[in-house]
Amino acid sequence: AQSVTQLDSQVPVFEEAPVELRCNYSSSVSVYLFWYVQYPNQGLQLLLKYLSGSTLVESINGFEAEFNKSQTSFHLRKPSVHISDTAEYFCAVSPTGNQFYFGTGTSLTVIP
């Protein structure tokens, strides 16, 4: 079975500072990779995804993630965070496109 590791359960960061949320997965085969965001009392929303092609993918609100096959990582970054980015972030892996495996989540808190 696949495993997804989000190394940091909580990440506090000051407003306008950069942030990186780490995600590593265990797989020797091709995978599809996703980052989801969950705001309080809501479901998960897709932030960005990697299916194939360019290893750097971007979201509409300034986040980006880079697929690194050799390190089996898909870290999420943002150069300058806002208060509104405070949320729970989940990394997910889908080896076949049928079943999804989620990490335990990283709680990002942006401090004014």
Q: Among 65, 67, 73, 105, which residue interacts with other proteins (rule: CB under 8 A)? A: 105
Residue 51 binds other proteins (CB under 8 A): yes
Residue 93 tokens, joined: 């892996």
Q: Among 28, 40, 41, 84, which residue interacts with other proteins (rule: CB under 8 A)? A: 41
Helix (H, G, I), strand (E, B) or coil at 85: helix
Residue 2 binds other proteins (CB under 8 A): no
Distance of CA 48 to the CA centre of its chain: 8
Residue with tokens 């190394």: 7
| Residue 60 to residue 31: CA distance in whole angstroms | 23
| Residue 60 to residue 58: CA distance in whole angstroms | 7
Residue 93 binds other proteins (CB under 8 A): no
Residue 35 binds other proteins (CB under 8 A): no
Q: Among 16, 97, 109, 111, which residue interacts with other proteins (rule: CB under 8 A)? A: 97
Q: Which of 84, 85, 112, 109 is nearest to 8 (CA)?
A: 109
Q: Among 45, 61, 80, 109, which residue interacts with other proteins (rule: CB under 8 A)? A: 45
Contact residues for other proteins (CB under 8 A)? 9, 32, 34, 36, 41-46, 49, 51, 90, 92, 96-105
